[in-house]
Structure 1
Amino acid sequence: MISIGFFNNKGGVGKTTLLCNVAASLSIEHKKKILVIDADPQCNASAYLLKDDDLEKIFLDSDHYSIDSFFEPVRRGKGYPTNLPKIVRSHRFEVDLIVGDPKLSIREDLLANDWAETKNGEPRGFQTTFAIRALISQLTDYDLVLVDMGPSLGALNRSILLGVDYFLMPLSVDIFSMMAVENIIKSFDVWREALEDAIKKHDKSESQSFEIAGQAVGWNLGFAGYVMQQYRAKSKGGVREPVVAFERIISRQREELIELCKFFDADPELLNLGEIPSLSSVVPLSQQAHAPIFELASRDGVVGSQYTRVSEAAEFFHKISGNLLERLGQ
């Protein structure tokens, strides 16, 4: 099982749309067993993957064991729970889902406070910081676990990124998305240095390493790649290219991405998973139908030229998911 966090600390880059459609492509096109974890307190992935009635039933169920509930015994110092958050099925996307929980945002305080204990090498801090890794380590029935994350560099996302194997970065073509790459590099550098120092303190005081599922924790995050989205494209010689207004920003972004790849000692050419020009009106149709863009049909309200957008979406998402599997050696 491989876990991947979809992350950019710049909002509005189409992260959740990318994750859900790549997840569906991995399942439908590539026959992989996929689980999505909605770890964004805004719960956009859950709202996209499930119908409103299904979500309402879940949240009104008094016995619903959510991703937020997983943290409660950790908060009380009782260790990791043995039962998993409830897993449900998104039938049109053909993936499983751990539904998001708005209360997860409250865990920011717990994770931030216990990060100080982590840096001091204290076991309690390590237990809290690596709670997400403990959860993911139990999901061995899946080929890939994809984690939707909010757009921040806060304590919750730090814990998620320390818990997954890779992160994948969606990018939009704007100056702020470009600046976000620089912020991410700086944060990763600080987190890695702090964690490596904390591990030394812990192992010295406890005379043993802190382990999850029999493996010592550490800075193990890899870079799965990036996807450029939401640019306007023109056709030149049968090839779609970004219009001039976006070319300058794309060029600057590539410079920042080269620096990010250097951080992970990775080849930038291998990490470009694909590009998605604007898919205009079919994205709202997909959200309303709770269905992948590339699976939309007339029953979902597709008309006229929108069929071309649906066909293009299939090409884009299947290419990205295929490149991702190749990158992961799957």
Structure 2
Amino acid sequence: MKSIAFFNNKGGVGKTTLLCNLAASLSIAQKKKVLVIDADPQCNASAYLLPDKQLEEILLTNGHQSIDSFYDPVRKGEGYAAGIPTIFRSERFEVDVIVGDPKLSIREDLLATDWAATRNGEHRGFQTTFALRELISRLQDYDYIMVDMGPSLGALNRSVLLAVDYFLMPLSVDIFSMMAVSNILKSFKNWKFSLEGALARYDAEEGHSYKARGADVSWELQFAGYVMQQYTAKKKEGVRQAVDAFENIISKQKQELEELCRFFGCDSSDVNLGEVPTLSSVVPLSQQAHAPIFDLGAKDGIVGSHYIRVEEAGGFYHAIAEKFSQRIDG
């Protein structure tokens, strides 16, 4: 099992659309077993993957164990919960889902407070900080666990990124997305430094290293790669290229990505997983149908030129899925 968080410090880059369609491609085209964890309090992935009526019933009746409830025993000093959050099935995307919970935003305070305890080498702090790692480690039946996140660099997202094996970065071609790469790198450097100091203090205090599910905890996050999205393309000799207005930004983004790759010790030539040009005309239909873009049909409102977009989307997402699985599985 490999766990991958989809993250960028900028909203509006198509992160959730990428995650859900990539997850569907891996499941449908590659027959992988995929679980999506919605760790964004806005619950956008849950709203995309599940029909409205089903999601409303889940959230309003509280007839399930939520991802937020996993933190309750930790908050009370009782250790980790015995079970796992309820897992639902997205029929059209053919993936499993742990739905999001708006109350996760309130957990930010707990995670922020206990991060200070973590940095001091205190056991309680480590338990809170690595609660999501504990949860993910219990889900070994999947090929991929894919985690959706909000765009902040706060305590909740830090705990997600400390829990997973990889992070994947959706990028858009704009100056703010470029600056977000720099913000992410600075935060990662600070988190790694703080975590390594905390682990050393814990070892000195307790006489042994901190373990999660029997394994020593360390900074393990790797860079899976990036996907460039939402740019306007032209064709030159049959090859799609960004229009001139975006070329300078793309060039500067590559410089920032080089810095990120140096931090993670990976080759920048390996991390470009592909591109998804603007598919705005069919994305709303996909969201309304709670179905992958490449699986839309007449019953979902597809007519005329939309079919070309649907076919193009299949080409883009399946190609990214191939590169993704090669990168993750080696």
- Per-residue displacement from partner, 1:124-181 (whole Å, max 9, x unpaired)? 0000000000000000110000000000000000000000000000000000000000
Q: Secondary structure at the match of 2:273?
A: strand
In 1, the alpha carbon distance for the partners of 2:276 and 2:182 equals 22
- Per-residue displacement from partner, 1:198-253 (whole Å, max 9, x unpaired)? 00000111111111111111100000000000000111111111111111111110
Map of 1:1-330 to 2, 5 A cutoff? 1-329=1-329
Q: Secondary structure at the match of 1:78?
A: coil
Q: Secondary structure at the match of 1:86?
A: coil
In 1, the alpha carbon distance for the partners of 2:60 and 2:189 equals 42
Q: Secondary structure at the match of 1:80?
A: coil
Letter in structure 2 aligned against 1:169: M
Deviation, structure 1 residue 62: 3.5
Deviation, structure 1 residue 282: 0.4
In 2, the alpha carbon distance for the partners of 1:51 and 1:288 equals 9
In 2, the alpha carbon distance for the partners of 1:285 and 1:76 equals 44
Q: Secondary structure at the match of 2:189?
A: helix
In 2, the alpha carbon distance for the partners of 1:195 and 1:59 equals 35
Q: Secondary structure at the match of 1:163?
A: coil
Deviation, structure 1 residue 113: 0.2
Deviation, structure 1 residue 64: 1.7
Q: Secondary structure at the match of 1:152?
A: coil
Number of residues paired by the alignment? 330
Letter in structure 2 aligned against 1:276: V
Letter in structure 2 aligned against 1:10: K
In 2, the alpha carbon distance for the partners of 1:105 and 1:297 equals 37
Runs of 4 or more, structure 1, over 3 Å off, are none
Letter in structure 2 aligned against 1:298: A
Letter in structure 2 aligned against 1:25: S
- Per-residue displacement from partner, 1:27-81 (whole Å, max 9, x unpaired)? 0011000000000000000000001000011113343210000001010110011
Q: Percent identity?
A: 68
Letter in structure 2 aligned against 1:323: K
- Gap runs ≥5 in structure 2: none
TM-score, reference length from structure 2: 0.99
Letter in structure 1 aligned against 2:268: P
- Gap runs ≥5 in structure 1: none
Q: CA RMSD in A?
A: 0.7
Letter in structure 2 aligned against 1:256: E
In 2, the alpha carbon distance for the partners of 1:328 and 1:101 equals 28
In 2, the alpha carbon distance for the partners of 1:226 and 1:65 equals 33
Letter in structure 1 aligned against 2:144: L
- Per-residue displacement from partner, 1:78-114 (whole Å, max 9, x unpaired)? 0011111000000000000000000000000000000
Letter in structure 2 aligned against 1:222: Q
In 1, the alpha carbon distance for the partners of 2:124 and 2:234 equals 55
Q: Mean alpha-carbon deviation: is it higher for 299-308 or for 287-296?
A: 299-308
Letter in structure 1 aligned against 2:242: P
Letter in structure 2 aligned against 1:142: Y
In 2, the alpha carbon distance for the partners of 1:328 and 1:173 equals 25
- Per-residue displacement from partner, 1:242-278 (whole Å, max 9, x unpaired)? 1111111111101100110111010011000000100
